[in-house]
Structure formats: C-alpha cells, structure tokens
Amino acid sequence: MKKKAVIITGALGGIGRALCNEFHAHGFVVIAVDRAEGQVAAHQILKEDIRSILNDFKHRAEFRSKILETLSTENAELSGLINNAAIQILGGVDSLTASDWTETLETNLVAPFILSQLFLQELEDANGAIVNISSIHEKLTKPGFVAYATSKSALSGLTRSMAVDLGPRIRVNAICPAAIQTSMLEAGFSGRPQQFAALQQSHPAGRIGMPDEVANIARYLIADAPEFLTGSCLGLDGAIAGRLHDPA
C-alpha cells in the first residue's frame, strides 16, 4: 500500500513549518519547497524560488522529476499540494512599481496555478486535493496592501474556478487566515507591545491565530474532508470578518 505524500511551498516560514510538522506527524511523506535554505520536518527539502519554474520549461521539468523521484523512492502517491508560499510587498497606489506587481502576482497567484497544473495527473490518480493559503485580505483589507490584497483575492477566485473546472477529479479549497502569530508578524510589532495587544483584542476571539490552527485545517481538507467540500474559501479569522468598526 502506498504512503500519502504532500508538497508544501513556503515551507520555512511560520505557517510552512507548522504545515510540515502537522503532516509529518500524521505519517505523510512531506516534500518541502522554499527559496531559503534551512531544516524542517520533511523527507525532501527543495531550495527553489517557485517563480523560477514559470517560464523556464527545462527547469520546470527538472523540478517535477525531482519530486516524482521522491514519490517513487518513498513508495508514495501525491495526496495533496499546499500552495503556501507568498510575499507581501507593502505600498499604496501611488508608490507600487510594476516590479512589485509582477513579483507579487507571480509568487502568490501564477505559481500556485502552474504547480497545480504540473501535478494534476498525480493528484487525480491519488484522489488528492489542493489547498491554497489565501488571506482575509481576499475581501477585507487596509491601506498599503494593494498588491497583496489583489493577489489573494485572485487566489480565492482561482480556487473556486479550479474547483468548478476540475469537478470531481480533484478537490480544491482555500484557507483565509486573519493575523497569525509568526516570527514575521512579531518582528513587525517589535518594540510596540501596546499595538500588538490591540491587534489581538481587535479579534472577537480575543487573540490572533496560531500556525498550528492553519496546519490542522489544511490536513483536514486533504485527508479527512468529504468529497463534497470543494471550491470553498474557509475563513480562519477569530470572527474579525464579521465585526463592524465605526467611529462611534
């Protein structure tokens, strides 16, 4: 009997590490992909900027071959693809450059599509699923997040469209987290404990989310969710998406 395998991009970030730990702990063969070097709970770690596979077809074929070789060596089938890698370039309408837009959209939107396309047959053969890590910014955003919010809105749209297009062949869902406690988020609030506390309390749940909570939902969507659950963008936001902020 073949083992279950999962590809996780952005594996060395806060959410990425939690994803790797979750799937590894539950017996999955974990194939981790990240543009940085580092160690994580995985059977294979590929140092790869996912943008590099977009237009370099030779490199794309090499990337695919490496993963197929691991699946063969581990006697595993590809049960899941988690498109987690993302960048967040902050800037407003008057400051964002064409380069900012290109890098954001290629990383957060185009690469997830190409990766999904690249492993369609393996996912279908394993009755697998795709999980896109979107964001609360798909619908609710704030100043300075123009490129990021646009890319996540499009990623959620891609999730729904792919689910319709693929039908019963492969389930496709997205997770849309609000603030998640990662080292990157904490660094952004360094020296500002009051603002960080205010961020937590702005969520009706009374806190921000944890990477393990994202990972737990991702594993459910790949391993345990009913077949009828496809094309959904699941909010993980501590109810902040339902909260009205007004000046009174």
Residue 186: pLDDT above 90?
no
Please tell me which residue in 23, 28, 148, 196 is annotated as part of the active site. 148
Instruction: Please state, for a pLDDT cut of 70, what percent of the chain lies above it.
Output: 99
H helix or E strand, kind and range, residue 9: strand 3-9
What is the CATH architecture assignment of 3-178+211-239?
3-Layer(aba) Sandwich (3.40)
**Bigger pLDDT: 127 vs 190:** 127
What's the sign of the alpha-carbon dihedral 51, 180, 100, 36? negative
Tens of pLDDT, residue by residue over 57-74, are 999 999 999 999 999 999
Amino acid 183: pLDDT? 85
**Phi/psi at 80 (nearest 5 deg)?**
-155, 150
Residue 247: pLDDT above 80?
no
Amino acid 246: pLDDT? 76
Residue 187: pLDDT above 90?
no
Span 108-117, mean pLDDT? Answer: 98
Tens of pLDDT, residue by residue over 94-104, are 999 999 999 99
Q: What is the pTM of this model?
A: 0.97
**220 catalytic per annotation:** no
Q: Which two tokens stand for residue 132?
A: 């896109």
Span 209-224, mean pLDDT? Answer: 98
Amino acid 48: pLDDT? 96
CA distances from 176 to 72, 133, 155, 166, 187 (A): 33, 6, 10, 21, 22
Where does residue 246 rank: exposed (0-12), middle (13-18), buried (19+ CB within 10 A)? exposed
Amino acid 248: pLDDT? 59
Computed over every residue of the chain, the mean pLDDT equals 96
Residue 219: pLDDT above 70?
yes
Residue ranges of the domains in the chain?
A: 3-178+211-239
Question: What order do you get walking across the sheet with 233-236 strand by strand?
Answer: 44-47, 29-34, 3-9, 76-83, 129-133, 171-177, 233-236
Span 82-87, mean pLDDT? Answer: 98
Amino acid 61: pLDDT? 97
Amino acid 189: pLDDT? 87
Tens of pLDDT, residue by residue over 10-57, are 999 999 999 999 999 999 999 999 999 999 999 999 999 999 999 999
